[in-house]
Structure formats: C-alpha cells, structure tokens
Amino acid sequence: MKIYSRLDALLRASGISGRENVTREKASELIAPFVDEIRTDVMGNLIALRRARVSGEEKGASVMLCAHMDEIGFLVTFIEDSGYIRVSAVGGIHATAAAYTNVVSNKGVAGLVAVSEDKKGEIKVEDLYIDIGAKNKKDAERKVAIGDWFVLTPSLKKLMGKRVCGRPLDDRIGCAIMIETAELLSDFENKGDIYYVFSVQEEVGCRGASPAAFGIAPEYSICFDVTGTGDALGAAPMACSVGGGAAVKIKDRSDICHEQVVAALCDIAEREGIKYQREVLTYGGTDTSVMQLVGRGSRAGAISIPTRNIHSGVELCDIGDAEASVLLAAAFVKSL
C-alpha cells in the first residue's frame, strides 16, 4: 500500500479549519484517478464520487466515506509594537504541547511559539505568542497581517517497525486511508454510489460533514479519524492500543454508532482475518456524530486509527493499523 507516501504528501499541504484550500487541492489530485467526478460544495468539502456500475432496480445502497482534512492552528489577532504576534486558537490547541515549537504561516513565514519569560504555572493559549524574528511592529507587518494563520510545522518520521510520528496525523491519516480505499475499490463493480468526502472544519465543531451528508443523503456512512489509546504512560484505561489493528468505534462522547454497522464491521474483520479492536472513547467526537443525524439520517459507523499524543507535534500511529482500516473499509463497502 502507498499510505506512507500519500500521508507525507497530505501532511505538507497545510490548512487550518476554514482555510483548507491547499489540502483540498492535494487530496483532489491524489484521489482523482479512482473516481468519476470531483466537486467542492459551498462549505469547501471535497466530494469525490464513484458512480454505481448498475442502474435501475439493481442499484444498491449508497455509502459516504469521510475524513476531515482540516487541522488545528493559530489565527493572528494582534501585533505588538515589539513585533511579537498574538494569536487565538483554532480548534483544540494544547498550549503546553504547542509552546516552544516551530510554526509556519499560510504565507510561508517561519516562526516559533514562545511563552512570556515570567510565566509560571499552567500555560494557557493566551500566554502564547509567535516570534518571527521581527525587529518591531512595522517589520512584522511586512510579513504578517491580522487574520493570517499559523500551524505547527508539518513533519513525518519513521520510527521502529511500522510506527510513524509527526503532525498533523489528525486527520491526514484518515484522508490517506480513504484514498487508499478508493484505489482498492477502483476495479470493484459497485452496485451503489460511493462518495469520498474530505470534510472541512471538523476541529471546530464538525461543521463541514453536516451539509455534505445532507446533500448526499447516504444510506450508510463511515468516518475515518484518530482515537485515543490506553497504552501511553499515564493514560486512562482503554481497550485500544497502537498496533492493535483498526478500531471499530462503538461509542464516543458525541455519538453511538449504528448497531448494524458495528456488527457488520466486526463480523467482516473476523471473517477476513483483518486485525481489529473495539473502541469505546469516553471523550471527544468525530464527524460520525453529524453524518448519522442530518436529513433522514444514515446508518453511521467509524473506523478509528489509535494515535498517541493527539493535537501535539509528535502524534504517533502505526501504519499497520491504517492498512487494516483500508482492508476493513473496502470489505464493508463490497458487502453492501
């Protein structure tokens, strides 16, 4: 599979929530060979369609596969007379993890996140500022404007075995899995329409997937996203672990997955010998929550990728889990 190379390409196409155009262009380029039609809706979601290979009464159930392409970051709110740049958070910024890291702006300006020297105790987002090396405000304004955005500098490193770390694995790993799934299904004579949706603004409230699902009105939907693990030092007890296989979501804080979809995914994994684990997440949520509710609703489920250090510069996952997710998703679509 080409998951690593596709993930690497997607990681380097930065785009925070609401400003995903560069990421969208790269995702469109990568999935184009495997679909019949690509369009962008008014929200900015990239929707790729592989039409059913049959028509009329023979046509089967439609399915929407979805992964969000936005990432967390910073929005410039003020420039100090000294040239330091004040920012607000876009999405769930972990201030301590973000402190003293390298960032890059949508204009390609490099900088670093710093904290006031006299700051003691817990670090909050409002304590952070970005230093681009400017001499003063006028100097900084030559490179940065109010409303510009910064993200942690993209990276991807191979670790031991099939494990990788970097950012933003959340959720470019889901996007890479979906593209790989599209390639695997490109020779399949699908009876129903298959929609591949790269959604926007998930990190700020699952905003993009909602209108996309409303417009598509799929009978089934599957979300790909990262999930927490119980195998990190100090982690709360959780059955999911990195390297344990594709995680079939049962529930998180935002949704309860459709019982029929959960059962089907687990049955397929058992039958096909695909490594998997069952996921109950006591916090967080994904686009699954809106995909199952809009319009007439859909039978929604999720395949998660166990990931450590989520929303940091060193997110870690196992490519083997991603490969299992591809096999499971493709087999599920074929079963429809």
Supply the residues annotated as catalytic: 202
The answer to whether 132 and 111 are in contact (CB under 8 A) is yes
- DSSP letters for 163-213: EEEEE-HHHHHHHHHHHHHHHHTTTS--SS-EEEEEES-GGGTSTTHHHHH
Backbone angles phi, psi at 261, to 5 degrees: -70, -45
**Cβ neighbours, 10 Å, residue 161:** 10
Query: Which strands sit side by side in the sheet containing 37-40, from one edge to the other?
Result: 37-40, 46-50, 194-199, 63-68, 220-227, 299-306, 246-251, 276-280
Answer positive or negative: Cα dihedral of 100, 14, 134, 95: negative
Neighbours of 113 (CB within 10 A): 23
